[in-house]
Chain A
Amino acid sequence: MSGRLEQPADGRTEHDRAAELLPWLVNGTLPAEERTRLERHVQSCLPCRAALRTEQRLAQLVRRQPTVPLSADEGFERLRERMAAPAPRTPARVAPWLLATAAALALAAWLAVDVARPPSPEFTTLTAAAAGGTRIDLVFAEDAAESDVRAVVRELGGTIVAGPNQVGRYTVALERPDEVDALLARLQRDPRVRLAARSFDTGQAP
């Protein structure tokens, strides 16, 4: 299944939108304004009232599915054994052309192995002039095309100063460092981006 389903067409009715949101009315996580609007619709819509009962029934049944009765303590003991073992050098096992695999391993590799290292030799410095200022590190989604990479960087108002490294990490220098928190928050929600964080390569405190 694709990670990028088509968005519902414009021109949907209030009923269409309501029908889509019922599960989150049931689990109680809708923002207040959205909840009020949805409840108002459901009150006046017979099919939505019936659909709401269906969702409530479904929610109850999902919650009643048995949980696997295993001990967290035993799991933790296995974790401690793994922690005591020598750490695998994840990036070295990744074939450079397997970008998808590299992206999937990026979290472990980037955060567990690469953190706080100076830029490694495999980095390609593209724009030395942009070396100063606040930088962020990005790993793109597995299905992100090169045009997506360029578009994201352009939207950030930044410049790629390094990357991609073996795990698909780019470092981007920002022209508007005061907006870094807002930009990172936006990137967290961007489907083209798998990971985004302040770079550890700047020498600045994050």
Chain B
Amino acid sequence: MREQPNRPVPPPADDDAVEAALLARIANGDREALRTLYGRYYHPLLRFIYRITGQLELAQEGVNDVMMVVWSSGGSFGGRSRVRTWIMGIGYRKALKALEKSRRWSSRVRSIDAEGYEPFAPSVEPTAELDLADLLAHAMRQLPPKQRAVVELTYFHGYSYEEIAAIAGCPVNTVKTRMFHARARLKELLPELAKDEHWSG
């Protein structure tokens, strides 16, 4: 079978009916439907798992771990939640499990969290937004994985706190608390972020 050409990948659309229909086809063994769903979720999942684990290999493997679950269990999805919440929830658990496993078994693997023990001390004042973006990437690595996940899900993937609670399998108050701590830590690490707050006292 010929590869389909690369196409721009839309973010997971707010079109639950379309994705539920794809899942129904997948449950009947339709590989083209799987390919379509895979195309919709590949980059969001890859980025999400990569942001949690900090390891590209784990992220690539994690995406396919998720899609294997989708392939083998799409028929039992049954509309219990939105499709995108269900799929990202599987990704969340796979990512945390992969991170835990890599920490436990491979001290030589450079995980984000191993790097996290290094002191964070920007040596120069950020002079442009690009610099600030680089520093933020570094600062994000100082956060615990579950806090990183909430920041990513909120600001990159655009999920509501209720959806994030469903993805992470925790109460909404836990989501809000994780986000609150993450924001406080990021502002601490990157005072430049909160320059208006310094002025307003």
Q: Which residues of A contact B (CB under 8 A)?
A: 1, 3-8, 19-21, 23-24, 26-30, 46-47, 49-51, 53-55, 57-59, 61-65, 67-68, 70-73, 75-80, 82-83, 87, 104, 107-108, 111-112, 115, 141, 184-185, 188-189, 191, 193-194, 196-198, 200, 206
Contacts and interface: CB of A to CB of B under 8 A. Distances in A.
Given A29-B163, A72-B38, 12 more contacts: A4-B174, A7-B177, A8-B173, A20-B177, A30-B160, A50-B197, A54-B193, A62-B156, A73-B3, A104-B97, A107-B73, A197-B80
Given A3-B170, A53-B196, A112-B72, A67 B47 contact: yes
A63 B155 contact: yes
Contact of A8 (B93, B136, B145, B177): B177
Interface string B39-81: 1001100110010000010011001100111011101101011
B21 interface: no
Interface in B159-201: 159-161, 163, 165-166, 168-171, 173-174, 176-180, 183, 186-187, 193-194, 196-197, 199-201
Given A24-B154, A54-B196, A76-B35, A191 B171 contact: yes
B39 A72 contact: yes
A115 B200 CA distance: 58
B114 interface: no
B155 A59 contact: yes
A63 to B, nearest CB: 6
A108 B80 contact: no
Contact of A61 (B46, B136, B183, B199): B136
Contact of B56 (A30, A62, A68, A188): A68
B132 interface: yes
B3 A58 contact: no
Contacts of A24: 154, 160-161
A141 B178 contact: no
A184 B146 CA distance: 25
Contacts of A23: 154-155, 179, 183
B144 A1 contact: yes
A206 B154 CA distance: 33
A111 B137 contact: no
A4 B178 CA distance: 10
* Residue of A21, A27, A196 with highest tally of chain B CB at under 10 A: A27
B158 A54 contact: no
Q: How large is the interface on B (under 10, 10 to 19, 20 to 34, 35 or more residues)?
A: 35 or more
Interface of B: 3-4, 6, 9, 31, 35, 38-39, 42-43, 46-47, 50, 56, 59-60, 63-64, 67-69, 71-73, 75-76, 78, 80-81, 90, 93, 97, 129, 132-133, 136-137, 140, 144-147, 151-152, 154-156, 158-161, 163, 165-166, 168-171, 173-174, 176-180, 183, 186-187, 193-194, 196-197, 199-201
A194 B169 CA distance: 7
Q: What secondary structure prevails in chain A residues at the interface with B?
A: helix
A61 B156 CA distance: 9
A4 to B, nearest CB: 7
A79 B6 contact: no
Contact of B166 (A3, A49, A80, A188): A188
Nearest to B67: A79
A109 to B, nearest CB: 10
* Residue of A61, A83, A87 with highest tally of chain B CB at under 10 A: A61
Given A27-B154, A61-B129, A72-B42, A111 B73 contact: yes
Given A23-B155, A54-B197, A108 B38 contact: no
